[in-house]
Structure 1
Amino acid sequence: MDWFTAPAYWTGRLVFQRALAGVYLVAFLAALFQFRALIGSRGMLPVPEYVRLVPFRRAPSLFQVRYCDGLFAGCAVLGAVGAAALAAGVGDLVPLGCAMALWALLWVLYLSIVNVGQTWYAFGWESLLLEVGFLAVFLGNARVGPPVLVLWLLRWVLFRVEFGAGLIKMRGDPCWRKLTCLDHHHETQPMPGPLSWFFHHLPKPVHRVECAANHVTQLVVPVLLFTPQPVASIAAGAVVATQLWLVLSGNFAWLNWITITVALSAVDFTALTGPPPAAASRAAPLWYVVLVCAVTALVLVLSRHPVRNMISRRQVMNRSFDSLHLVNTYGAFGTVGRVRDEVVVEGTADEVPRADGDWREYGFKGKPTELRRMPRQFAPYHLRLDWLMWFAALSPGYARDWFGPFVERLLTGDRDTLRLLRHNPFPDAPPVFVRARLYRYRFTTWRELRETGAWWHRTLLREYLPPTRLAEPGPVRSRGD
């Protein structure tokens, strides 16, 4: 069946599978290290309470059958071990069916996590990992040549990621059409990286070039993915280059890395590696051919919803149209903030919460708080609390379900919650009161950085949460407020 395999993509498949396994590894480790405080039995949004309210058909998950923290941790560890094994090449050392089972195991485990993760897992890159991970199950191993149908489906995913993001920008904020969005974006993005300050201070003409290049990469280049080689490889290379630029300019969890991973599957590496091995032309088993054809048909049928969304004037970003996250719609930053607000959380051991009392700030790992602390690089690791704090600053509505439980856990000195933070100002005993205030942050100028050593400047806007303590019927107003 010469039509079924594409031997020229032997190396591309290998690179794709190793890279995807690496992304899976990061995702499972992030789940393992953060779940107890976020969705554990005593977490801010506990899984047991969620699964009692949401039926299996809406959120299929192993944890719908049974949940305990030990089981969740075991699944995350099993996923991490399986991902590490596939990244090391174990999938090519076992029979085809076993390799497919390994990839399917990772998909089932991570689907089970995402479907009970609630708002902590409501990010586009979660669905993207699941969609790409599902296709990886059917991509084969060294026992068979790369199936051309699955390779085309991966390009279809990449097209929707890029083209959808390009459309949402052109339909959304006028600054994308005026090429001015990047005058603000590097400063106001959810979690700036160590180079974001420098990107922000690039000359405005460079920002215009950035915007224009982004439009070309997202609205023109994706179409070229479906053209013959070497044009398709050049198009994929352009996507990779753009994503690496985004990696340098900010922290977007594994969104950029999985996009790069999918793009590499479209590259013909034979010019670099020479002809593929003889195994690349080996005939595929009939059961495998039938299964791949059936999956292709399924994906095409399910694609009708994302296509309708893309052509709609009321296009939405990052939505799954089925509970298995098989075919989704993507997009990012249809609107770009012009200012950056941050919620700063403070505690005090004072029995009377005076406005001028001894209030001490909690430090976060990724989100800006301390003015002299240079932003750090965390991606592809995902700091879920830090990201949700960015949304909380946009509107209290985004934090309605979890911010109160978060404050409660600070007041009780919950160790799992404190592990999510960089700095706990109350190492010996929890505070008596916790409050939150909203500040307007901006990057300092070159002169301010030289004179003060501060990367950020901030101005107090208003109270976000009044001083609150345990065992009170309501928040307590501080004296002098």
Structure 2
Amino acid sequence: MGWFTAPDYWLSRLVFQRALAGVYLVAFLTAALQFRALIGERGMLPVPRFVRRMPFGRAPSLFQLHYSDRFFAGCAWTGCAVSAMLAAGLDSRLPLWGGMLLWLLPWALYLSIVNVGQTWYAFGWESLLLEVGFLAVLLGNDEVAPPIVVLFLLRWILFRVEFGAGLIKLRGDACWRKLTCLDFHHETQPMPGPLSWFFHHLPRPLHRIEVAANHLTQLVVPVLLFTPQPVATAAASLMIATQLWLVLSGNFAWLNWITISLALSAVRLPHTAPSPVPGPPPVWYEVVVSAVAALLLWLSHRPVRNMLSRRQIMNRSFDPLHLVNTYGAFGNVSRIRYEVVVEGTTDAVPREGSDWREYEFRGKPGQPHHWPRQFAPYHLRLDWMMWFAALSPGYAEPWFGALVERLLENDRATLRLLRRSPFPPDAPPRYVRARLFRYRYTTWRELRETGACWERTFVREYFPPTRLAKVVQRP
């Protein structure tokens, strides 16, 4: 048992598994509450249309075999239930093989969702959850001590998440090398949080210190994960502190929380209560863990080559099962924030002077007086894609026309994704349009005088006034 397992990490494994189960629960809840409008049978990018042109081998999924909205909802809510069971520790009450199967179930269900989610599920934290979730299957329960090789692989993922993000910054935007990126980032990030305005207005010298500390945490500290204790614990703890700082500064879905979960697996937690006394691991368990670990280590050559390449890419999966992936974020930082504002009118003939009423989104900036709210780790997928749509119409081309069509129909599933529709359920708009605005944070004086955290300026038309019979896909 000595060479294969690490009994001192039983509490670290327990905390990591419960934290990961919580992330799984949020991910499945997000899917269950949002899928109908996004990828449902009448969604903007319907799953049935996608699977007709996508071979099973390229996107393995239960929904390749059968799809209906009721079946998808059943899978998503089943994922919620299993995640809650894992968070409550049910896996520890089962035999070793039963606990492993219980961890395998949410991984298989979420893989099925991600592989048909299309652009709505093209975020790096989807693959990260799957890669980490697959390793969790191999961690075992109270019958065995945590396998050393699995603990190493969890640190290896954490290393790639942080070190890859650090490299993409150094190779990307010059502002990271000049330590000036945070002069813009808090204002232009995809979804600001309730404290982002205050982070933006921190003194610029402090922003320089933040960027320098980020480089240290992402390029130097990850190497220390592979050193003896207590250095590895100190390195992981520093990463946790950095991630909590990011949690305060913005809404990044569950990216920060799953990174914190990974770091917890590297922390040797002190414990006063007597630890379980596991027996020797079964031979079949040693064989399975060793074989899968060898496969994952061999597959890791692709993200390593990517990290070493001058053409490093971010957030790419190298296999359809998302077993080993590459990560990274904010290789480039926008200097100006643009937002797409969607409006509708009941006027028979749309004019500039018509009664245009604005749709309000839950998380993305809209009305200047609406202060951002905290949503992470919950993921507002439409709001995030609206940020990308403002960067370039190409991001919106596959789905924006369908969004306009659903708004013209007062589609209930779509309206549930919004904070507020300006039209009653029985009186949909006759025309919908979208306009592009430039947003900036107000100053301290402007905030005191107006109470608004944003100031916005009209830039151009983004999508022309359109009625139901004339909806087109291209914005």
Give, in angstroms, the shift of residue 197 of structure 1.
Answer: 0.1
Match of 2:245 in 1: 245
Q: Aligned partners of 2:275, 2:358: CA distance in 1, in Å?
A: 59
Match of 2:233 in 1: 233
Q: Aligned partners of 1:346, 1:266: CA distance in 2, in Å?
A: 49
Deviations 1:56-96 (A, max 9, x none): 00000000000000000000011000000000011111111
Q: Aligned partners of 2:276, 2:388: CA distance in 1, in Å?
A: 52
Deviations 1:156-187 (A, max 9, x none): 00000000000000000000000000000000
Q: 8 Å contact 2:401–2:471 — kept in the other structure?
A: no
Secondary structure in 2 aligned to 1:467?
strand
Aligned residue runs from structure 1 range 48-447, under 5 A: 48-270=48-270, 273-274=271-272, 277-280=275-278, 282-427=279-424, 428-447=426-445
Q: Aligned partners of 2:172, 2:461: CA distance in 1, in Å?
A: 31
TM-score after normalising by structure 1: 0.97
Secondary structure in 2 aligned to 1:459?
strand
RMSD in angstroms over aligned alpha carbons?
1.0
Match of 1:453 in 2: 451
State the AA in 1 paired with 2:175: C
Give, in angstroms, the shift of residue 356 of structure 1.
Answer: 1.1
Q: Aligned partners of 1:473, 1:431: CA distance in 2, in Å?
A: 13
Q: Aligned partners of 1:390, 1:279: CA distance in 2, in Å?
A: 51
Q: 8 Å contact 1:8–1:276 — kept in the other structure?
A: no
Give, in angstroms, the shift of residue 274 of structure 1.
Answer: 3.7
Q: 8 Å contact 2:82–2:106 — kept in the other structure?
A: yes
For structure 1, the 5+ residue unaligned runs are 476-481
Q: 8 Å contact 2:142–2:276 — kept in the other structure?
A: no
Deviations 1:130-173 (A, max 9, x none): 00000000000011101111000000000000000000000000
Give, in angstroms, the shift of residue 279 of structure 1.
Answer: 1.8
Give, in angstroms, the shift of residue 370 of structure 1.
Answer: 1.0
Q: Aligned partners of 1:394, 1:118: CA distance in 2, in Å?
A: 19
Give, in angstroms, the shift of residue 277 of structure 1.
Answer: 1.8
Give, in angstroms, the shift of residue 275 of structure 1.
Answer: 7.5
Secondary structure in 1 aligned to 2:407?
helix
Q: 8 Å contact 2:404–2:471 — kept in the other structure?
A: no
Q: 8 Å contact 1:172–1:334 — kept in the other structure?
A: yes
State the AA in 1 paired with 2:64: Q
Q: Aligned partners of 1:118, 1:417: CA distance in 2, in Å?
A: 17
Give, in angstroms, the shift of residue 51 of structure 1.
Answer: 0.2
Secondary structure in 1 aligned to 2:438?
strand
Match of 1:24 in 2: 24
Q: Aligned partners of 2:273, 2:148: CA distance in 1, in Å?
A: 17
Deviations 1:268-290 (A, max 9, x none): 113xx14762425x210000000
Q: 8 Å contact 1:7–1:276 — kept in the other structure?
A: no
Secondary structure in 2 aligned to 1:57?
helix
TM-score after normalising by structure 2: 0.98
Secondary structure in 1 aligned to 2:419?
strand
State the AA in 2 paired with 1:449: L
